Amino acid sequence: MRKIITLLVFITSYNLLNAQFRSKDVMDRYDDIDHQKFSWGYYLGINYFSFKLHPEAEGLNSRGKFLVNVDSKAGFTVGLIGKMRINEYLDLRVEPAMHFVQRDLIFRNIQNIINQEVEEGKEPTYTDLDAIRNVKSTYIDIPVFINFHGNKWNNTRPYVQAGLSYLMNLQGSEKKEQDNLEQVFRMKDNNFSYQLEAGIEIYLKRFKLTPSVRGIFFINDELVKDNPGTPPVWAGAIKSMSTRAIVFSLKFE
């Protein structure tokens, strides 16, 4: 009996899915949308932003090991899609988004100074809070992509796209006078990146769903140096820094 029920469930599920993905009406409907000159949509995603760091001498220990680390945390991405059809295989896409990002910079060079001063019986110059900088960022991202897609197969269509982007960091604090002495880690407000993405468009009954993965690679140095006179244990320990990110998203069109 269990085998019969399992077989019936399998057959029913297969027929439902087959009807969903092979319906002529659905194919015709979304064929029409794909051939429109302009169309739009939106997307939601989970992001992981990190930094690519290059060290200064102040950030290295005696063995040449870099003592500044990045602790990346999951963030949220929301965006819009504007598409202009070029031909059967190429589209021009603009996908403005907001990325809500949180990263921690761990300054183990400062922790080493604290430990050494405690061992020597001295009053520590720094506290444990000085060894961590919570770097929150909100990026307005305006990427322009060239999208290349293959032929449709079983109501799915793979694609890849590449493009350039301008990103404004609303929490960069570039113009603030305070620096790390006041626990303010400053970054550039205006940034540029190149972006690469791949995904699969899935044609459903009422909309097109696209799971995708995107890599974001900042071109410029985001670091703003500390003010003269500030100990070189924070920004002075880093020669340059630029964001590297991955975004997993679901697109709805």
Residue-wise pLDDT tens digits, 41-96: 999 999 999 999 999 999 999 899 999 999 999 999 999 999 999 999 999 999 99
CB atoms within 10 A of CB 119: 8
Q: What is the CATH number of domain 23-107+133-252?
A: 2.40.160.20
Burial 219-245 (b: 16+ CB within 10 A, else e): eeebbbebeeeebbbbbbbbeebbbbb
**Close Cβ partners of 54 (under 8 Å, ≥ 6 residues apart):** 238, 239, 240, 241
CB atoms within 10 A of CB 80: 13
Query: Quick one: pLDDT at residue 62?
Result: 87
pTM over 0.75: yes
Name the residue ranges covered by the structural domains of the chain. Answer: 23-107+133-252
Q: In this structure, what are the phi and psi dihedrals at residue 228, rounded to the nearest 5 degrees?
A: -55, 135
% of the chain with per-residue pLDDT over 70:
87
Q: Convert 161-175 into a string of H (helix), E (strand) and C (coil).
A: EEEEEEEEECCCCCC
Query: Quick one: pLDDT at residue 171?
Result: 96
CA atoms within 13 A on the CB side of 185: 25
Query: Quick one: pLDDT at residue 205?
Result: 82
Query: Quick one: pLDDT at residue 236?
Result: 96
Query: Quick one: pLDDT at residue 154?
Result: 87
In which residue ranges of the chain is pLDDT below 50? 1-29
Q: In this structure, what are the phi and psi dihedrals at residue 212, rounded to the nearest 5 degrees?
A: -150, 160
DSSP for 36-81 reads: SSEEEEEEEEEEEEEEEEEE-GGGB-TT--B-EEEEE-EEEEEEEE
Vertex 41 angle, CA 38 and 42, to 5°: 150
Reported for 32-35, long-range contacts at CB under 8 A and 24+ positions apart, including other chains, are 33/208, 33/253, 34/85, 35/85
